[in-house]
Structure 1
Amino acid sequence: MAEVKYIGSTERIYPVYKLIPLTAHLAANDITAEQALAGSGITTAHLSDPYFFISRQQVTTVFDNFLRLAPGRTSPLELGASFHLTDYGFYGYALLSSATVRDAVNFGLAYRELATPIVDLELDESGADAVWIIRALPDFTLHEAMERFVQEYQSGILLSLHKSVSGNAFRLSSASFAFSAPAGAAHYHSVLNCPIEFDAASTELRFDKAWLERRPLGSHTITFQLVQDACHEMLDRIDGGRGVVGEIYRRLLGQSGQFASLEEMAVRLGLHSRTLRRKIISEGSTYQKIVDEVKFKLATTYLTRTEMTHESISERLGFSDASSFRRAFKRWAHVSPNEFRKRP
């Protein structure tokens, strides 16, 4: 099979959520987790580690194993439809506790990186129905069998998420797929329970817009706020994991109080300082901006989660004195450290 290519595909910055239901489903068909994970660099122990992160390349390796090990045993559509919101951890709980289904959709799209996106998703409300449009990611080149796999898989996941949020009464109006009907396509009708078109211009799932205005089954304002905060922190971790800026970000966070100069960081990364500076600029940042962002993130953590004094925080973050820290913090947050700490 052709190689999967993706910009940043080897960066291990995504939660392991998406693989757990897949390996469990394979296990039910007498295919071991070790077989499913072969060649991916992921072990069975990693699947139960909430702090283990994977790359898109690892995900597609496991998908390829599925295609090789389970041809004809189960369809990706059925596999996706077996997903549960809890398979997505905090991300799933946020969807379930949103105020309306529309809010859940907006949250889901805004925080999609937490679900390790393998396709591009758009919700179009310009017509009579709401329409999920599923496309290939513009910089994610897949072989034909994998492209079909991910579109089927995502279609099943979307149906499952809607049913989890709205209940089993949720129905699609119709569905279309941008590929030919497979041999024995009856399972498409049994899973989707709606009119289906193959060889369409694009893969789309349509449903009544009225569903968007309903309250999810688990709607709860306080729960949503709590899990949204957790999701935001996780998204920050993912965003901080990209490219050379992400690598610098991780290294600085891992050595609190020891903020290397650009030249020292270049040595650690095996680069010339001019090369590192060019790479940082090409990613839209500067070295000082990265250091300031790390210091600000650490400062907000110390202020909200500890009783550390300004003097202690100042020393931990490498400032000459507490007043220098307070001036810097007010420049970053537009409020003083004391005002920030008093916020609810």
Structure 2
Amino acid sequence: MAEIPYIGAAERIYPVYKLIPLSAHLAAAGIGAEQTLAGSGITVADLDDPYFFVSRQQVATVFGNFLRLTPGTISPLELGASFHLTDYGFYGYALLSSATVRDAIDFGMAYRELATPIVEVELSFADGEAAWLIRPLPDFAPHEAMARFVLEYQSGILLALHKSVSGNAFRLRSASFGFAVPDSAAHYHTVLNCPIVFDAPQTELRFDQAWLEHRPLGAHAITFQLVRETCREMLERIGGGRGVVGEIYRHLLSRSGQFATLEEMAGYLDLHPRTLRRKIISEGTTYQEIIDEVRFKLASGYLTRTEMTHESISERLGFSDASSFRRAFKRWAGVSPNQFKSR
């Protein structure tokens, strides 16, 4: 898979997965979601919208609010450790249904943009041991307290994901953290249940490499294929363009089968139609070309993963009849729909 280019901090392309636990924990402490989301441009209703996407900038704002509002009884490490694979949607189901833990990790690293990354992670191997190396991203490390927060939070999440995939028998061999020992470190030992070192050169979680060959609890080849395809489309949505073209592309894919006119899309983006047209042209394409690309992507999926008739596909994609769909598809792919499907 081609690497996705660097994504700007303001690009609204991530689902709200990582924000929901923060809001829920503060709510349990009597702090309203409005306070948690203050200044981020995210509303309480947005947290329940599966089609709502946020930027890293917005995520960082909510993290800052959490850090400022959180009672001393809430630990980022414990919060991360309470994560469930289902909190990651299709991405989580793909990890759970992988053939081996190693396959799950390979998939997770390849598709990690779907998890709203807040750190850089790398898996290294030495002497039968595997180690997660964790470093904060610049967006999430404007000061020491925030850097420590994301290191703790992500460490807890990684432990939770391993236990979700491998079961509660999973154990870390040791852990180290690249910051000073906290005033009360007891909860670190309670959560991680392994030897811990503070003031280390970097944050690492180490475990027996043999765990990588275990079969995940939910391993299922057909399920994995289905959710992998969905994740691939989601990842393409993230990498499907920058600027206004990327916004249009992601909006159309998230509402497959609903093809807004340029005027309707301009309203969604809060732009004048002429302004939107100029922006699209400046990015080297046209609105019709974007529509055609999304239609082709959807049609390809329908042909290869369903038994939908040409009539059903043409209706789903907004064509007047099946023959119009077939002509358009041959123009896009260079082959007929039947030839494409047989391949």
**Greater CA drift, 178-187 or 225-234:** 225-234
2:204 aligned counterpart, secondary structure: strand
**Cα distance change, pair 308–91 in 1 and its aligned pair in 2 (3 A):** same
SS at match of 1:39: coil
Aligned match of 1:283:
none
Q: Is the 8 A contact 1:13 1:241 kept in 2?
A: no
Q: Is the Cα contact below 8 Å between 1:16 and 1:47 reproduced in 2?
A: yes
Corresponding residue for 1:183?
183
Residue in 1 that maps onto 2:168: 168
**Residues 294-330 of structure 1, C-alpha deviations (whole Å, 9 max, x = no match):** 352144256457533599689949xx97786354344
Instruction: Give the Å deviation of 1:38.
Output: 2.1
| Corresponding letter in the other structure for 2:218 | G
Instruction: Map 1:280-295 onto structure 2 (within 5 A).
Output: 293-295=293-295
**Mapping of residues 1-344 of structure 1, within 5 Å:** 8-137=8-137, 142-240=142-240, 242-247=242-247, 249-250=249-250, 256=259, 267-269=274-276, 271=278, 276-277=282-283, 293-300=293-300, 303=303, 306-308=308-310, 316=319, 325=328, 327-331=330-334, 336-342=336-342
Deviation at 1:270, TM superposition (A): 7.0
Structure 2 SS opposite 1:58:
helix
For residues 108 and 206 of structure 2, what CA distance do their matches in structure 1 show? 17
The letter of the residue matching 2:339 is E
Report the alpha carbon displacement of residue 115 of structure 1 after superposing the two structures with TM: 0.9
Alpha-carbon deviation of 1:174? 0.8
Structure 1 window deviating more from structure 2 (169-178 vs 135-144): it is 135-144
Over the matched positions of the two proteins, sequence identity in percent amounts to: 67
Q: SS where residue 98 of structure 1 aligns? A: coil
Q: Distance in 2 between matches of 1:112 and 1:289?
A: 29
Distance 2:109 2:146 in 1: 23
* CA shift digits 1:123-177 (9 cap, x unpaired): 1124431010111236665322111111110000000110111111111111111
1:207 deviates by 0.3
Cα distance change of structure 1 residues 272 and 106 upon mapping to structure 2, 3 Å threshold: closer
Q: Which shifted more, 202-211 or 219-228?
A: 219-228
Contact 2:60 2:139 in 1 (8 A): no
Shift of 1:208: 0.2
Question: Counterparts of 1:80 and 1:142 in 2: how far apart (Å)?
Answer: 21
Asked if the contact 1:85–1:92 (Cα under 8 Å) also holds between the matched residues in 2, the reply is: yes
Give the residue type in structure 2 aligned to 1:186. A
Cα distance in 1 between the residues matched to 2:118 and 2:275? 33
Label 1:136 to 1:52 Cα distance change in 2 as closer, same or farther (>3 A).
same
RMSD: 3.3
State how far apart, in whole Å, the 1-side matches of 2:302 and 2:14 are.
26
AA aligned opposite 2:239 = D
Which stretches in structure 2 are left out of the alignment for 5+ residues?
Answer: 1-5, 264-271
> Kindly tell me: are residues 23 and 273 of structure 1, through their superposed partners in 2, closer, same or farther at Cα, counting changes over 3 Å?
closer
Instruction: Name the CA distance, whole Å, in 1 between partners of 2:210 and 2:302.
Output: 45
Judged with a 3 Å threshold, the aligned counterparts in structure 2 of structure 1 residues 267 and 118 are, in CA distance, closer, same or farther, namely same
Partners in 2 of 1:168 and 1:251 — Cα distance? 39
Q: How far, CA to CA, are the matches of 1:58 and 1:324 in structure 2?
A: 43
C-alpha distance in 2 between matches for 1:89 and 1:252? 20
Q: Distance in 1 between matches of 2:22 and 2:290?
A: 37
Q: CA deviation at 1:119?
A: 0.6
Tell me if the contact between 2:95 and 2:108 (Cα under 8 Å) persists in the aligned partners. Answer: yes
Q: Distance in 2 between matches of 1:127 and 1:86?
A: 33
Pair 1:315–1:173, CA change in 2 (3 A): closer
Aligned equivalents of 1:234 and 1:103: distance in 2?
19
